[in-house]
Amino acid sequence: MEKFVTKKIMKSRLLKSVLFAGLLVAPVLVHAASLSRSLDTIRAVGPEGKGNAEAAAAWKTVSAADSGEIVTILKAMNGANDLAANWLRSAVDTIAARELDADKKLPVAALQKYLADTKNDPSARRLAYEIIARADPATGEKLISGMLEDPGSELRRDAVQRRIDAALAVRKAGNSNDAAQRLQFVLPSARDAEQLESIAKELKQLGQPVDLPKVFGWVWDWKVIGPFDSTGGVGFDKVYPPEEKIDLAAEYDGKTGKVRWQDFSASGDRGLVDLNKPCGALKGVAGYAYTEFNSDSKRPVEIRLGCKNAWKVWLNGKFLFGRDEYHRGMEIDQYRLAGELKKGKNVILVKICQNEQTEQWTKEWEFQLRVTDPLGAVVASAKK
């Protein structure tokens, strides 16, 4: 009887324990499920405000999550579109700020693990790094110093900048040879155009000029044809024969007479293809530049263009993007067009239109172009 009673009591206690444990675990599971649903809702946002109303409610759940969930939210940024990433980023920011304001600890170890996995989204990894650096500046500094070859452009840029600053400090202290060695060391790691130009400038002053066109990887050799008519801007939309078929032996009616393809090379440190030279310094005109680019494999790339004229770009006959803006400025990597190289010969066609403005600063009819991998490393044309 006693045994039975004891057993019954034990059973009852066990049941209570299980129930109690269940009560403890259930909210956690519910919260985890709720967080997961909310992350899915945010990841579903799209163009023109699609999903905004639902995302606002989901954002409240996500931003109220415990700091232990930050890595879960960062993981949701992997593969998220830019709009969803912004929703998630601001939720992470909110959680981190709240915890830091309350002098609570952030999950630095888990964030470090997330950061170390370079398969994670580069901008989410950057966010993880920034939270680490805020929570533990010494660890942040140690981490960034080792990111010279990081695939994330911002992390790499900061690591490169620290090396540049260190080299300049050595130079200032009078050790030019050491400074030059340090700059030569960091040069291959740099991807950012401003940093590359800054390193090149310093090395030139130190008597070690850099082959900047090679460093930037400008596509150098082109066939060009023009001028075609673009009076009143009509040339931007008008389809001239090179857009229909590339025939390098053909001759066409141009704006000022017959036109045919001619060899032309880029020039200068910034790899400019100046159509005013082969086609005449004209206004209200359009021209084309064509090049063949060999790849030893099928691979995703970015066609990176700088241009202050209206332009269109095709890769292997596929239209990538075009823009009809004139003389508002040009910079390296101004436009980054995602494309895919096929194995073997690829063809790049660029259309450049010049308008009819007469001011001195509207004379340029030129572009610069390079091919990089999606992270900014130069992809050079392979040998045939």
Partner 1 sequence: MKTILTYAALLGSLTFASADWRQFRGPNGNGVVNDPALPTQLDVKNIQWAIDLPGRGLSSPIIVGDRVYLTAASGPKQDRLHVLCFSAKDGKKLWERQFRATGRTMAHEKTAVAAPTPVSDGERIFAFFSSNDVLCLDLDGNLLWLRGLTHDYPNASNSLGMSSSLTVADGVLITMVENDSESFTAGLDAKTGVNRWKLARPKMANWTSPVLLEVKGQPTLAILQSGKGISAVEPKTGRIVWEYGDGASTIPSATPSDGVLYVPSKGVTALEPSSDGTTPKQLWRNGQFAPATASAVILNQKVFTLNGAGVLSAGDAKDGARLWQLRLKGPFSATPVGSGTHLYCVNEKGVLQVVDTAAPQGAVVSELDLGKVILSTPSIDGGAVYVRSDGKLWKLGKS
Q: Is 136 in the site for partner 1 (CB under 8 A)?
A: no
3-state secondary structure of 199: helix
Q: Is 61 in the site for partner 1 (CB under 8 A)?
A: no
Residue placing its CB nearer to partner 1 in the complex, 28 or 57: 57
- 55 touches partner 1 (CB under 8 A): yes
36, 43 contact by CB (below 8 A): no
> What are 168's two structure tokens?
């300049």
Rounded to whole angstroms, the Cα distance separating 316 from 279 reads 24
**Chosen residue from 12, 17, 36, 90 binding partner 1 by CB under 8 A:** 90
Residue 288 CA from chain centroid, whole number: 27
| DSSP-derived 3-state class of residue 220 | coil
Q: Does 164 bind partner 1 (CB under 8 A)?
A: no
* 177-206 positions binding partner 1, by CB under 8 A: 192, 194
| Residue with Cβ nearer partner 1 (259 or 307) | 307
The 106-125 site mask, x for binding partner 1 (CB under 8 A), equals: -----------------x--
Q: Which of 261, 326, 365, 367 binds partner 1 (CB under 8 A)?
A: 326
154 counts as binding partner 1 under rule CB under 8 A: yes
CA diameter of the chain? 115
Q: Which range, of 177-185, 256-264, 325-333, 364-372, touches partner 1 by CB under 8 A?
A: 325-333
How many residues sit in the footprint of partner 1 (CB under 8 A)? 38
What phi, psi does 206 have (nearest 5°)? -90, 10
Residue with tokens 């001759």: 251
Would you count residue 53 as binding partner 1 (CB under 8 A)? yes
Asked if 328 is part of the footprint of partner 1 (rule: CB under 8 A), the reply reads: yes
Distance from C-alpha of 215 to C-alpha of 188, rounded to nearest angstrom: 8
Q: What is the dihedral of CA 153, 89, 139, 111, to 10 degrees?
A: -100
- Among the listed ranges 52-60, 139-147, 212-220, 364-372, the one in contact with partner 1 (CB under 8 A) is 52-60
Contact (Cβ atoms closer than 8 angstroms) between residue 171 and residue 179: yes
Query: 89 with 99: CB under 8 angstroms?
Result: no
**Residue ranges binding partner 1 (CB under 8 A):** 47-50, 52-53, 55-56, 59-60, 63, 82-83, 85-87, 89-91, 93-94, 97, 123, 154, 157, 192, 194, 308, 321, 323-326, 328-331, 334
